[in-house]
A and B are shown apart, each in its own frame.
Chain A
Amino acid sequence: MKLQINDQDFEVTSSGDTPLLWVIRDELGMTGTKYGCGIAQCGACSVLVDGVVTRSCVTTLDSVEGSRITTIEAIEKDEIGRRVVEKWVQHQVPQCGYCQSGQVMAATSLLKENPDPSDDDIAAAMINLCRCGTYNAIRTAVLDLAGKQEAKL
């Protein structure tokens, strides 16, 4: 089966019911996308499918045939993704870093869909788990990307 990832075509042999996550990690060797729970709870496996954030651990291979997939490896080639990474660094978001590929994908997807997200939009979109608790830094970075100041107390 053909898979289009990061503007490249790949011929993959995994069975159609294999989660996209494991095709990306094992068969294609791109390990930036992470496994955390396998049941779409944590979001560490987030990728973009046709520009929309998708949890690849529960997305089967055959469901994304013909779709345009973006993984964290190509995030800086995307103009919005590049800005997200820049703000992630500026606001020193990552700690252990394990969830951050997914967080960056989620933020990129949000801003692609809505360049001017409200607080509520951000809260609704940025739902990936982070065990280091970097949530406040994530929120600050996304608000900055949206051109907004941190709300006063």
Chain B
Amino acid sequence: MNDIFRFETPEFPGDKPVNVSRRGFLRASAAGALVLGFGLPIRARAQTPAMAAGTRVPAFLEIRPDNTVRLLSPFAEGGQGVFTAMAQIVGEELDADPAGFLVETAPAGGDYLVINGKMRITGGSMSVRSSYETMRRLGALARAMLIRAAAERLGVPAGELTTEPGKVVHAGSGRSLSYGELAGDALDLPVPDPAGVALRDPSEFRWIGQPMARLDAHAKSTGQAVFSIDCKVEGMLHAAVQHAPRLGLGVGTIRNEAEIAAMDGVDSVHALPGAVTVVAERWWVAKTAAEALDVEWAETGDLDPRWRPMPADFSTEAYAEQLAAQPGDGQQAEAQGDVAAALGQAGQVIEATYHSQLLHHAQLEPPSALARFNQDGSLDVWLPNQAPEQFRADIAGLAGVEADRINIHSPLLGGFFGRHFLYPSANPYPQAIALARAVKRPVKVIWSREEEFLRDPLRPMAAVRFRGAMGQDGLPVALDAVSICEGPTEAINGRDPDKLDPTALEGLTSKPYAIPNRRIAQNYAQSPAMLAYWRSVGNSMNDFFYETFLDELADSAGQDPYEMRMKLLDGNARLTTLLQAAGELCGGWKRGPFTAEDGSRRARGVAMASPFGSQTAAIAEVSIRDGEVVVHDVWQVIDPGSIVNPAIVEAQVGSAVALGLSQVLLEEAVYENGQPVARNFDAYPILPPERMARVHVRIIESGAPMGGIGEPGLPAVPPAVVNAVSTLTGRRIRSMPLSRQEFKA
């Protein structure tokens, strides 16, 4: 059952008359199949009584006569495997084989706000851990409804009925009814009290905890998977964009507008905030024409106040120096003991300044958005997004259409890594909506890769000033870190001067090591560039800073970095086990340098991280070839407490390792004169296959509260690699990427 994405572009029912009786709607819709519950026109949905998020069974589940279960996932699928995990969780309690599930992302709506019953995003590695109980209960509620329907149909007490995968069974009479046969009655029943349904004992799990195959593997191996960029509707036009070279500039004049508008296949030319666009019958024509527009960009001063005008002289190289030199000890986020006194008494204070770089998301699917105004005044938007309700609210304001008349379609994400949140200057849907309104036809906007690299909001860059000292016992006695940076959350949502942005410092804060005197602080510096979340957010750089400086401290006292960490974790059973497991996984810790079987000189580095509720330890083995770092192996142990699908966990750790390697080895968004130097993958290299390391993963289920999976595998990788390189080359490395430097073994 792998053709789950083999759908035609969905037909929108918005123009049809609405029958608020669900039965009536069912009869009116769907050739052959009983379409239960969802697909309900939005106005019908609005008239249904309020229920707690995640409990209105028909909003999530459709069971077809052939027993296929269609599930609307609160979370978007972008490679992390959440559709399969949701099917496993719901299927476990529903008692239906998840392999037979079809899964799609749910539309915007209160029923889907399953994160603490209040909100949803697909991010923060939160999907499974935040909704695990809710989604199990949803499956259990549906099962209870099927049993009740069967009881009525068979004329027996519900207590005499049980289920086997896909059917309700009456053992006494040997009769059974398939879920497909019962669904029509069952999903019409009132949903039982969620508190009253029993959940399966974990010891009886059949699917949760199993390495089930992903539901989307075949569709994605045969080109059938549908991403936003693939969506099409009848009568649709295509649009391409040329953005102002710097955010904040607007359209002055278009010198050749008439000439371009007259090109074959061109529908029209439009000036939009900070961009010119061409609408055409085909995208290639639109792109060629948009790039040919000769625009005089001007300081128009009437742009979105959330946009930060990019200074004409912004240079990342100069900015890195500026950050490092910004005076001040910052605002304290975390402190213990008396770090000033401890440093004052130390024989030797180790001081170092570390740097991180701006990064692109570089998801392979360029951004796109398709907008269609319908005759009844409703609006459909197809767009990559990690937060349907947030996008709907923004679109409502933008388009002047009530939120409940806006249908947000969330196709598969061609990678996301934090790219598809609500970033004010970085999404094409405002353009698609403006153009669809202007040309009175549906319009799909696609940003070329070059336009994407011009507007992609970036992973923050930081400079971190460290001071530290070692005690007589060979362990760190003091550590002081001041990060000069802006966190992504304060950059996106606005800064509260009285509060620190936890995403600015996570990975410098909450480290587990028993260092008696320590202080972590942020010295705020507003970024000229628009910022964003990037896979593993603050941890993506902060664990690099901390874990490499920790090695620097170890070196200053001749300590082995693995043994020193082990001592600093004394009494912490969970992390001691984790670090020991990493040592075992690599065949026993050895730092090196040593000579490998192939004659190359190699060394290993170790690092740990505590991101997104999980715990990780990574060891990397490196050598130098032709002046370049080669990462041969990465061994990583992850303890997420408990898991749903070990195969997906392993795949996610491998994927996070790849992105961590890409960051530490290669990536850096460089700006000169207010503009990105790289506008495509030729000048912004991402990890190619020949730079990938072998990855060895071990999962520990310690039973701690469930942690995240999608991001936690990243943060320990850059420091493990850099620590290995420092050991091998005998010099400390304090910035990423390593491609900036040439190495000798």
Contact B283 A131 (CB under 8 A): no
Encode contact with A along B213-236: 1 for CB under 8 Å, 0 otherwise.
Answer: 110111111111111011010000
* Chain A positions within 8 Å of B284 at CB level: 14, 18-19, 22, 26
* Chain A positions within 8 Å of B219 at CB level: 97
Contact B657 A133 (CB under 8 A): yes
10 A–B pairs (Cβ distance < 8 Å), ordered by A = A22-B282, A25-B283, A36-B366, A38-B450, A75-B222, A92-B217, A96-B413, A99-B364, A101-B222, A132-B655
Smallest beta-carbon distance A108→chain B, Å: 11
Known pairs A129-B364, A135-B658. 15 more at Cβ < 8 A?
A30-B223, A31-B229, A32-B222, A34-B227, A38-B448, A85-B221, A89-B218, A94-B220, A95-B79, A95-B80, A97-B79, A129-B681, A135-B689, A136-B654, A139-B689
Find the A residue at minimum CB distance from B690: A123
Contact A126 B689 (CB under 8 A): yes
With A72-B223, A85-B222: A97-B655 Cβ-Cβ less than 8 Å: no
Q: Is B569 an interface residue (CB 8 A)?
A: no
Contact B417 A131 (CB under 8 A): yes
Smallest beta-carbon distance B496→chain A, Å: 34
Contact A39 B221 (CB under 8 A): no
Contact B366 A22 (CB under 8 A): no
Contact of A133 among B413, B633, B658 (CB under 8 A): B658
* Count of CB-CB pairs between chains A and B under 8 Å: 173
- A67-108: which have CB < 8 Å to B? 71-73, 75-76, 85, 88-89, 92-101, 104
CA distance A120 to B677 in the complex (A): 33
Contact B414 A98 (CB under 8 A): yes
Smallest beta-carbon distance A130→chain B, Å: 8
CA distance A14 to B280 in the complex (A): 13
Find the A residue at minimum CB distance from B597: A153
Q: Is B611 an interface residue (CB 8 A)?
A: no
Contact of A94 among B221, B413, B633, B654 (CB under 8 A): B221
Central interface residue in A25, A31, A88, by most chain B CB within 10 Å: A31
* Chain A positions within 8 Å of B415 at CB level: 96, 98, 131-132
Find the B residue at minimum CB distance from A31: B230
Contact B218 A85 (CB under 8 A): yes
* Chain A positions within 8 Å of B519 at CB level: none
Q: Is B412 an interface residue (CB 8 A)?
A: yes
* Chain A positions within 8 Å of B425 at CB level: none
Contact A136 B695 (CB under 8 A): yes
* Chain A positions within 8 Å of B214 at CB level: 92, 94
With A132-B658, A153-B694: A97-B689 Cβ-Cβ less than 8 Å: no
CA distance A38 to B283 in the complex (A): 13
Binding site for A on B (CB under 8 A): 2, 78-81, 213-214, 216-227, 229-230, 232, 238, 264, 282-284, 362-366, 412-417, 446, 448-450, 633, 647, 651, 654-655, 657-659, 661-662, 680-682, 686-690, 692, 694-695
Find the B residue at minimum CB distance from A103: B221
Q: Is A41 an interface residue (CB 8 A)?
A: yes
* Chain A positions within 8 Å of B658 at CB level: 130, 132-133, 135
Contact A136 B220 (CB under 8 A): no
Find the B residue at minimum CB distance from A134: B655
Contact B283 A137 (CB under 8 A): no
Closest 7 CB pairs of A and B: A133-B658, A32-B223, A97-B220, A96-B79, A98-B414, A72-B223, A95-B79
Contact A131 B686 (CB under 8 A): yes
* Chain B positions within 8 Å of A75 at CB level: 222-223
CA distance A139 to B225 in the complex (A): 22
Smallest beta-carbon distance B275→chain A, Å: 18
Contact A88 B217 (CB under 8 A): yes
Contact A44 B79 (CB under 8 A): no
* Chain A positions within 8 Å of B222 at CB level: 32, 72-73, 75-76, 85, 101, 104
Binding site for B on A (CB under 8 A): 14-15, 18-19, 22, 25-27, 29-39, 41-42, 44, 71-73, 75-76, 85, 88-89, 92-101, 104, 123, 126-139, 153
* Chain B positions within 8 Å of A14 at CB level: 282, 284
CA distance A76 to B225 in the complex (A): 15
CA distance A27 to B694 in the complex (A): 42
Find the A residue at minimum CB distance from B363: A131
Contact B690 A133 (CB under 8 A): no
Contact A35 B223 (CB under 8 A): no
Contact B223 A38 (CB under 8 A): no
* Chain B positions within 8 Å of A26 at CB level: 238, 282-284
Contact A92 B647 (CB under 8 A): yes
CA distance A73 to B219 in the complex (A): 11
Smallest beta-carbon distance B638→chain A, Å: 16
Contact A42 B364 (CB under 8 A): yes
Contact A136 B694 (CB under 8 A): yes
With A27-B282, A136-B694, A136-B695: A98-B364 Cβ-Cβ less than 8 Å: yes
Find the A residue at minimum CB distance from B658: A133
CA distance A76 to B219 in the complex (A): 12
* Chain A positions within 8 Å of B448 at CB level: 38
CA distance A88 to B223 in the complex (A): 12
Central interface residue in B647, B655, B686, by most chain A CB within 10 Å: B655
With A31-B230, A93-B221, A94-B221: A132-B283 Cβ-Cβ less than 8 Å: no
CA distance A10 to B224 in the complex (A): 21
Smallest beta-carbon distance A82→chain B, Å: 10
CA distance A35 to B229 in the complex (A): 9
CA distance A105 to B218 in the complex (A): 14
Contact A95 B414 (CB under 8 A): no
Contact B654 A73 (CB under 8 A): no
Smallest beta-carbon distance B79→chain A, Å: 3
Smallest beta-carbon distance A45→chain B, Å: 11
CA distance A100 to B224 in the complex (A): 11
With A22-B284, A95-B79: A38-B364 Cβ-Cβ less than 8 Å: no
CA distance A101 to B682 in the complex (A): 21
CA distance A2 to B658 in the complex (A): 42
With A41-B680, A42-B364: A97-B692 Cβ-Cβ less than 8 Å: no
* Chain B positions within 8 Å of A41 at CB level: 680-682
With A19-B284, A76-B222, A92-B213: A131-B238 Cβ-Cβ less than 8 Å: no
Find the A residue at minimum CB distance from B224: A32
* Chain B positions within 8 Å of A97 at CB level: 79, 216, 219-221, 225, 412, 414
Contact B449 A36 (CB under 8 A): yes
CA distance A104 to B657 in the complex (A): 23
* Chain B positions within 8 Å of A18 at CB level: 284
With A41-B682, A153-B633: A136-B217 Cβ-Cβ less than 8 Å: no
Contact B223 A73 (CB under 8 A): yes
Smallest beta-carbon distance A93→chain B, Å: 7
* Chain A positions within 8 Å of B682 at CB level: 39, 41
Central interface residue in B79, B283, B694, by most chain A CB within 10 Å: B79
CA distance A33 to B225 in the complex (A): 11
Contact of A22 among B283, B654, B688 (CB under 8 A): B283
* Chain B positions within 8 Å of A89 at CB level: 2, 213, 217-218, 221
CA distance A136 to B218 in the complex (A): 18
CA distance A44 to B363 in the complex (A): 12
Contact A133 B692 (CB under 8 A): yes
* Chain B positions within 8 Å of A104 at CB level: 221-222
Find the A residue at minimum CB distance from B212: A92
Contact B651 A96 (CB under 8 A): no
* Chain A positions within 8 Å of B282 at CB level: 14, 22, 26-27
With A34-B365, A96-B415, A98-B364: A42-B681 Cβ-Cβ less than 8 Å: yes
Contact B78 A96 (CB under 8 A): yes
Contact A131 B213 (CB under 8 A): no
Smallest beta-carbon distance A129→chain B, Å: 6
CA distance A126 to B692 in the complex (A): 13
Contact of A29 among B78, B217, B232, B364 (CB under 8 A): B232
